Amino acid sequence: MKAVIAQSYVPVDQLVVTDAAPPTPGPGQVLVRVEAAGLNPIDAILITGRLRQVMPVEHPFVPGMDAAGVVEAVGAGVTRFAPGDKVVAFTHDTTGTLAELTIVADGPGLVHRPESVDAVTGAALPVSGMTAAALLEASGLTAGRSVLIVGATGGIGSYLVQLASGAGAEVIATAQPSALDHVRKLGAAHAVDYTSVDPVAEARRLYPDGVDVVIDLVNGGPAVESTAAAVRPGGRLVSSIGVPDSLDRDVTPVHVGVENGIGRLEELVGKVASGELTVHVSGTYPLADAAQAYADFTGGKHPVGKVVITV
């Protein structure tokens, strides 16, 4: 089978597409013929080895965790799926999805895909959608509450703005000037051009006592303390990147990862099928151009929503 392969830690533009041995599904596993695979920032971290001390990978390494396709074969004990089923998959730590075939565990990360959800749309959903759902839950947001979402135009943000505004929250969303309309259409009550306006100051102008929640998808570690300044006393600072153990103000820091949202994939696919959740794919690339896709995704081209590889 064809697969995108890194033989060692390399810059993303040095990925190659080559022949690889097809994987075989073991007990409790499903072999999926990939039709589309979504890109995520974690892929580039694993490809380059930027965090190899804490997140090492074995080489040759096939990147990608998100896929949509069709079941090719099932391993022993799998009864929920059969060859020919259309699926959406989060492979996590089985095999990479930028390949013609991938292995997925039979669990909450593998769900049936309705006819109305095409492969590109399905592949854009797992990591970003599940993380967005987990962030929303951790935020405690309910109708009438306010939230500043920093980094609202990317993979997670484009789902989170919809989920938060759908829950009745008043959303302030950051965006580049060209993406201000994007976040408004997704349901943001206020769109802030972060290239010319300080989002914290704007949130404080709109909510002088502070917003109930800040969800920061851009700043990790100590840098996130600056956005915590937009939160009212007693509120929450939620991040998918990392938070300090405590803050020097009465704000609760919460860190949420994709693992907190794996059980939400089926519900998310259902929301897409019903039209409740919109998937925005800014660009698709064929498998042969995966290196270029990652270079564009990570290299300041500012894609809005998701980037997807077609296989």
**282 lies in the site for ligand NAP, by CB under 6 A:** no
Q: Measured between alpha carbons, how far is residue 126 from residues 115, 167, 238 in Å?
A: 17, 20, 20
Cβ-contact 62, 2 below 8 angstroms: no
Q: Is 123 left (phi over 0), alpha (psi -120 to 50) or beta?
A: alpha
At 211, list the tokens: 């917003």
Which stretch, 39-47, 205-213, 246-254, 288-296, contacts ligand NAP (CB under 6 A)?
39-47
**273 lies in the site for ligand NAP, by CB under 6 A:** no
Residue span 118-137 as binding mask against ligand NAP, x where in contact by CB under 6 A, dash where not: ---------xx--x------
**89 lies in the site for ligand NAP, by CB under 6 A:** no
Which stretch, 16-24, 99-107, 146-154, 203-211, contacts ligand NAP (CB under 6 A)?
146-154
**12 lies in the site for ligand NAP, by CB under 6 A:** no
Closest by CA position to 132, among listed 271, 303, 298: 271
Closest by CA position to 183, among listed 207, 159, 209: 159
**Which of 81/159 has CB closer to ligand NAP?**
159
**302 lies in the site for ligand NAP, by CB under 6 A:** yes
**Which of 101/127 has CB closer to ligand NAP?**
127
**Which of 46/101 has CB closer to ligand NAP?**
46
- Binding residues for ligand NAP, rule CB under 6 A, total 23
**Which of 20/308 has CB closer to ligand NAP?**
308
* Cα(115)–Cα(92) distance, integer angstroms: 25
Residue in 23, 37, 40, 81 binding ligand NAP, rule: CB under 6 A:
40
For 74-127, give the DSSP string.
E-TT--S--TT-EEEEE-TTS--SSBSEEEEESSTTEEE--TTS-HHHHHTSHH
Residue in 146, 174, 227, 282 binding ligand NAP, rule: CB under 6 A:
174
Residue in 63, 96, 126, 154 binding ligand NAP, rule: CB under 6 A:
154
Residue in 194, 207, 285, 294 binding ligand NAP, rule: CB under 6 A:
194
**240 lies in the site for ligand NAP, by CB under 6 A:** yes
Which residue is nearest to ligand NAP, using beta carbons?
Answer: 154
**41 lies in the site for ligand NAP, by CB under 6 A:** yes
Nearest approach, Cβ of residue 248 and ligand NAP (Å): 22
**Which of 65/269 has CB closer to ligand NAP?**
65
**157 lies in the site for ligand NAP, by CB under 6 A:** yes
**Total Cβ atoms within 10 A of residue 28:** 13
* Cα(258)–Cα(301) distance, integer angstroms: 25
Cβ-contact 109, 89 below 8 angstroms: yes
Which stretch, 28-36, 37-45, 65-73, 102-110, contacts ligand NAP (CB under 6 A)?
37-45
* Cα(40)–Cα(308) distance, integer angstroms: 9
- The secondary element (H helix, E strand) that includes residue 192 is strand 190-193
Q: Measured between alpha carbons, how far is residue 232 from residues 141, 169, 189, 242, 250 in Å?
A: 14, 15, 19, 20, 8
Residues in the site for ligand NAP, rule: CB under 6 A? 40-42, 127-128, 131, 150-151, 153-157, 174, 176, 194, 217-218, 240-241, 257-258, 302
